[in-house]
A and B are shown apart, each in its own frame.
Chain A
């Protein structure tokens, strides 16, 4: 069974850092691109960042560019999100999600087919 399990969420004051992790199982992790998507309280889904199968292509939403860093360790079937200079508006449930494709710029994009349960990040003093 395919699984994605996030960890590392918590309550942090504005300006501080947090690192999210996501461990994958049940599929060949290094065959696929993976992403972080968040849902703020009372809001809709927002794509945050994505990374291709071999880390050769990395993209960020404008709202987090320069503050967040995505990375992956295929040997450990793991995805990470380093979040620096956190703001109140970063408060959200952060989901790790698997792409159907290996690449971020591929013509085969067919959506995000597996999702974790999410890690809650609260930025507040």
Chain B
């Protein structure tokens, strides 16, 4: 089974500063037939369901601010918030998708707070 490991487990960043969350997969999430990395990022604020932020490693979901950026390939990925806003306080999850058989594995989550 694929294991997704996020680092750090928690992170405190000052308002306006950059925040970076890392996600490492135990196996490549590259789908060779179309060269897509099926790596997705979600944001979950307290008392709310998760919200889709980024899919295919770096494609922002409609309405997501452009301060959120995803990058990486193969087994190593990152979510970067370029200038932290107060409303970005949340737990962030990476998720991989493998096609055969279909599996959807989440990382353990990274709690982002304001310093």
List A contacts of B42 (CB < 8 A). 45, 111-112
List B contacts of A14 (CB < 8 A). none
Contact A109 B38 (CB under 8 A): yes
List B contacts of A100 (CB < 8 A). 55
Give the complex CA separation of A106 and B100 in angstroms. Answer: 10
Give the complex CA separation of A37 and B95 in angstroms. Answer: 12
**Does any Cβ of A come within 8 Å of B101's Cβ?**
yes
- Quote the shortest CB–CB distance from B40 to chain A (angstroms): 4
Contact A44 B61 (CB under 8 A): no
List A contacts of B52 (CB < 8 A). 111-113
Give the complex CA separation of A97 and B49 in angstroms. Answer: 10
Which bracket fits the contact residues of B? 20 to 34
A110 in complex: contacting residue of B55, B106, B107, CB < 8 Å: B55
- Quote the shortest CB–CB distance from A17 to chain B (angstroms): 25
- Quote the shortest CB–CB distance from B11 to chain A (angstroms): 15
**Does any Cβ of B come within 8 Å of A117's Cβ?**
yes
Contact B106 A105 (CB under 8 A): no
**Does any Cβ of B come within 8 Å of A47's Cβ?**
yes
Number of interface residues of A (CB under 8 A): 26
| Least CB separation from A116: chain B residue | B49
Contact A111 B55 (CB under 8 A): yes
| Least CB separation from A117: chain B residue | B49
**Does any Cβ of A come within 8 Å of B105's Cβ?**
yes
- Quote the shortest CB–CB distance from B64 to chain A (angstroms): 11
List B contacts of A115 (CB < 8 A). 49-51
Give the complex CA separation of A44 and B6 in angstroms. Answer: 11
Q: B81-112: contact bitstring with A at CB < 8 Å (1 yes, 0 no)? A: 00000000001010101011111111111000
Chain B contacts to A: CB under 8 angstroms: 1, 31, 33-34, 36, 38, 40, 42, 44, 49-52, 55-56, 59, 61, 91, 93, 95, 97, 99-109
Closest 8 CB pairs of A and B: A115-B49, A47-B104, A111-B55, A104-B102, A111-B40, A44-B109, A110-B55, A45-B106
